[in-house]
Amino acid sequence: MVCTAAGAAAAAGYGLTAPKRYRATAQVLVSPISPSDPTFAGLGVLRDTGGKRTAAADVAALLRGPQLADAVAASLGLRRSRSSLEHALHVSVVDSSDVVDVSAEDSTRTGAAELANSFASALISQRSASFQSQLSNAIRRDQKLVAQGADAAVARRLTTLKGFVGQPDPTVRVASEAASPGSSSWPNLPRLIGIGAAIGAAAGAVVALVLLALRGAGRVRPGEYDPAVSEAALEKLVDRLEARLLARESALAARERDVQAKLDELRQAAAAAPAKPDDSGLRGREEALEKRVEAVTKREAEMARHAAELAVRERKLAEDEAAAAERAAVAAAVPEPVPIPTNGAAGTYSLTDLEQLVANHGGEHPEKVEEWQSYLFFLRDYVRSDGRIPASFDGLITETFSDLL
């Protein structure tokens, strides 16, 4: 009983003096695309594959990535290390749903909320930048197909994709932002007292077992009883051992409080004191790291701006090409092009041969495999009964698959 009370008292003392930690939670909503939807074919959007790993689980894994922690540190201007930010982050999928909790811990209420919201925003920004880059490639590919006389489905898909230019990734968004918590998440005083009481009870049980073992070992038969050692003396010995154990536990708790107070004083002194000459190496490394982070952030912003400019230029070029084609058609009084029949004159290439080339040598050009597969998918609608592609597609195939031919 004494050990239990001592353990609870020590735990309560630590809980009252330990620095507080706060936790805030933002939520990210995942809206995966069906695998049967051809609108986003060739784009790296989140899809619901129906397997054990859901799209929400993929988002949770992306939130734990080291690149995201670096982006959060750069956006908030923090000097914390990547491992410190990753340790402060807690990500979980809510009850097997499409909602992901993004929780962050910090020593202040506002700091915890800013961390949680920054992680969620950084994920949306990175996903949106990747989506816009892939979207530009998909629009350029479909424009070529439409110019070659592709069917109305391709034209409709092109119109749909153009509507997403400049928009974020449609499969993930912030559902709710984190707010400043009203109370600290650590230390949990009732839980600490319970743990301390349990440890004290366990220690008391161990001491009791040891004393019982010693008492049993020293017990002799009535004929061999040593009158010099009485029961009263043994009881006094047990009382002294229990009192000594209680004093040690109290001293340990007091020592722990003193150490914690000393650590707090050292932290405050380190924050208030000017930098010492022997810290020049550390300051130099910190300044170099800040410059690298600033350079990376600037380069990422420049790449995003460049991608947006390219998208605008491509859209303007497509509009100019369409207007020029319309003017040429009016000037020459040429009737509208007739859609390419599926049984037209056989061309130079076979769909089977092209698929075999992509399968055998696609690994040599990984940056073009996705584009080649998209062209093969749309060319299937025009293949002749003998497996050959109409001659009207020879120019497009020669230009697109030039690295394989």
Residue 337: predicted pLDDT: 38
Q: Which residues contact 85 (CB under 8 A, 6 or more apart)?
A: 69, 72, 73, 78, 115
For residues 24 and 231, the model is more confident at 24
Rounded to whole angstroms, the Cα distance separating 63 from 119 reads 7
| C-alpha dist (Å) from residue 170 to 44, 131, 149, 256, 322 | 11, 9, 29, 52, 28
Residue 164 has which token pair? 């997403």
Report pLDDT digits (tens) over 72-81. 999 899 888 9
Q: Which of 322, 49, 48 is nearest to 162 (CA)?
A: 322
Q: Is the pLDDT of residue 187 over 60?
A: yes
Residue 280: predicted pLDDT: 66
Residue 257: predicted pLDDT: 83
**The model's pTM:** 0.46
For residues 396 and 239, the model is more confident at 396
pLDDT mean over 62-66: 91
Beta partners for residue 91, in sequence order: 102
Residue 56 has which token pair? 């929400």
Rounded to 10 degrees, what is the CA torsion of 71, 77, 83, 85?
-80
Beta partners for residue 357, in sequence order: none
| Distance separating the N- and C-terminal Cα atoms of the chain | 86
* b/e per residue 13-32 (b: at least 16 CB within 10 A): bbbeebeebbbbbbbbbbeb
Residue 258 has which token pair? 């003193």
Percent of the chain with pLDDT over 70: 83
- Asked if 35 and 49 count as a contact pair (C-beta separation under 8 A), the reply is yes
Q: Which of 172, 171, 175, 243 is nearest to 207 (CA)?
A: 243
State which H helix or E strand residue 329 sits in. helix 280-332
170 backbone dihedrals φ, ψ, rounded to 5°: -75, -10
176 backbone dihedrals φ, ψ, rounded to 5°: -155, 140
Report pLDDT digits (tens) over 164-174. 999 999 999 99
Residue 336: predicted pLDDT: 41
| C-alpha dist (Å) from residue 206 to 79, 196, 201, 202, 388 | 47, 15, 9, 6, 86
- Asked if 71 and 126 count as a contact pair (C-beta separation under 8 A), the reply is yes
Q: Is the pLDDT of residue 343 over 90?
A: no
- Asked if 370 and 138 count as a contact pair (C-beta separation under 8 A), the reply is no
User: What one-letter code names the amino acid at 269?
Assistant: A
- Asked if 193 and 1 count as a contact pair (C-beta separation under 8 A), the reply is no
Rounded to 10 degrees, what is the CA torsion of 244, 250, 251, 253?
150
Of 52-61, 130-139, 364-373, the least confident: 52-61
State which H helix or E strand residue 21 sits in. none
149 backbone dihedrals φ, ψ, rounded to 5°: 95, 30
Residue 187 has which token pair? 């230390």
- Best mean pLDDT range from 34-38, 166-170, 231-235, 251-255: 166-170
For residues 271 and 7, the model is more confident at 271
269 backbone dihedrals φ, ψ, rounded to 5°: -65, -40
Residue with tokens 């400019």: 309
**Confidence label for 88 from pLDDT (cuts 50, 70 and 90):** very high
pLDDT mean over 370-377: 89
Q: Is the pLDDT of residue 339 over 50?
A: no
**Confidence label for 222 from pLDDT (cuts 50, 70 and 90):** very low
Q: Is the pLDDT of residue 149 over 70?
A: yes
Angle of the 351-361 helix axis to the 366-379 helix axis, nearest 10: 160
164 backbone dihedrals φ, ψ, rounded to 5°: -95, 0
Rounded to whole angstroms, the Cα distance separating 299 from 307 reads 12
* b/e per residue 310-334 (b: at least 16 CB within 10 A): ebeebeeebeeeeeeeeeeeeeeee
Q: Is the pLDDT of residue 312 over 80?
A: no
Sign of torsion, CA 173 176 181 187?
negative
Beta partners for residue 346, in sequence order: 390
Rounded to whole angstroms, the Cα distance separating 205 from 203 reads 5
Rounded to whole angstroms, the Cα distance separating 57 from 49 reads 12
